[in-house]
């Protein structure tokens, strides 16, 4: 059974804007999938429908055997502990330290009161420190997040997602605000999280070259529809053109010799 299955997922904003149109695909446990497409194609909407930060208008989403669209608020909270999310602008609490932000990843497991009082078990703290170490942030543990670089902030975002002990991580343009060096560090971490921790990863990206380099599978979206779903090897310049339409000129040259077909 697939870990995640979408069937005919459609999302309208208001009556006019069709952001997703009959999206269907499934993702197996352990896959590393990138979603590419031009600005406004529906990539963010798609990711946010998966964990119901946005409510789809129709369709079905099954995660780990559960129909996510039928869950009560309480059940949804539990579901979200299993699906970590990483954002382009990190969504950290800037005035709090790295360790405090990372521990926020445990809030989904707590009563509101315990959460408000910041009550975390020693085990939770140990786990948070271990993950911070894995992400190379051990020297920053007690630094406030507003004193970190973008790349470091994103690593805090990843640590916060990992401390949840998720089955899957959704990454909404995680490197869009980072320089190439910091982007590589983030993508390398995400790849390792998938291959070594066996966590399924879905990443929205703007950069086709990055998608080609890192993932097993690329889903191309244009105007809310899946127009490509396959391996990086299958992504020819014609396919890029279908995904990006008139915006594809520069991207095709970026493909280099590997897939230019």
Cβ at position 73, least distance to ligand ATP in Å: 21
Establish if 136 lies at the interface with ligand ATP (CB under 6 A): no
Distance from C-alpha of 140 to C-alpha of 133, rounded to nearest angstrom: 10
Q: Which is nearer to ligand ATP, 43 or 104 (CB)?
A: 43
Give which of 61, 68, 23, 63 is closest to 41, Cα–Cα: 23
Binding of ligand ATP by 207 (CB under 6 A): no
Q: How many residues bind ligand ATP (CB under 6 A)?
A: 11
Interhelix angle 122-134/150-162, nearest 10 degrees: 140
Nearer to ligand ATP, 45 or 101 (CB): 45
Nearer to ligand ATP among residue 36 and residue 212 (C-beta): 36
Chain positions 3 to 62 lying near ligand ATP, rule: CB under 6 A, are: 13, 17, 19, 37, 39-45
The answer to whether the Cα torsion of 246, 250, 253, 255 is positive or negative is negative
Question: Toward ligand ATP, which CB reaches closer, 163 or 171?
Answer: 171
CB of 42 to ligand ATP, least distance (A): 4
Q: How far is the CB of 41 from ligand ATP (least distance, A)?
A: 4
Shortest Cβ 211–ligand ATP spacing (Å) = 13
C-beta pairs of 74-81 under 8 Å, 24+ apart in sequence: 76/52, 77/108, 78/108, 79/51, 79/52, 80/51, 80/108, 81/108, 81/109, 81/164, 81/165, 81/166
Q: What residue ranges bind ligand ATP (CB under 6 A)?
A: 13, 17, 19, 37, 39-45
């Amino acid at each position: 059974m697939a870990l995640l299955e979408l069937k005919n997922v459609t999302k309208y904003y208001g009556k006019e804007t069709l952001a997703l149109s009959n999206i269907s695909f499934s993702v197996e446990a352990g896959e590393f999938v990138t979603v590419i497409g031009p600005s406004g194609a529906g990539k963010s909407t798609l990711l946010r429908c998966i964990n119901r930060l946005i409510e789809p208008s129709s369709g079905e989403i099954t995660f780990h055997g559960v129909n996510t669209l039928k869950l009560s608020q309480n059940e949804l909270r539990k579901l979200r502990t299993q699906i970590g999310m990483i954002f382009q602008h990190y969504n950290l609490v800037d005035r709090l330290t790295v360790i405090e932000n990372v521990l926020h990843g445990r809030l989904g497991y707590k009563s509101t009161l315990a959460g408000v009082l910041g009550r975390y078990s020693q085990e939770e703290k140990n786990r948070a420190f271990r993950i911070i170490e894995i992400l190379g942030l051990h020297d920053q543990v007690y630094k406030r997040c507003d004193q970190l670089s973008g790349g470091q902030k994103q690593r805090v975002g990843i640590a916060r997602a990992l401390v949840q002990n998720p089955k899957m991580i959704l990454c909404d343009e995680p490197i869009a605000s980072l320089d190439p060096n910091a982007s590589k560090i983030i993508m390398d971490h995400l790849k390792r999280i998938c291959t070594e921790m066996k966590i399924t990863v879905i990443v929205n990206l703007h950069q086709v070259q990055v998608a080609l380099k890192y993932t097993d599978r690329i889903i191309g979206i244009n105007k809310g529809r899946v127009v490509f779903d396959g391996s990086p090897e299958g992504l020819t310049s014609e396919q890029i053109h279908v995904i990006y339409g008139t915006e594809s000129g520069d991207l095709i040259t970026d493909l280099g010799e590997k897939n230019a077909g």
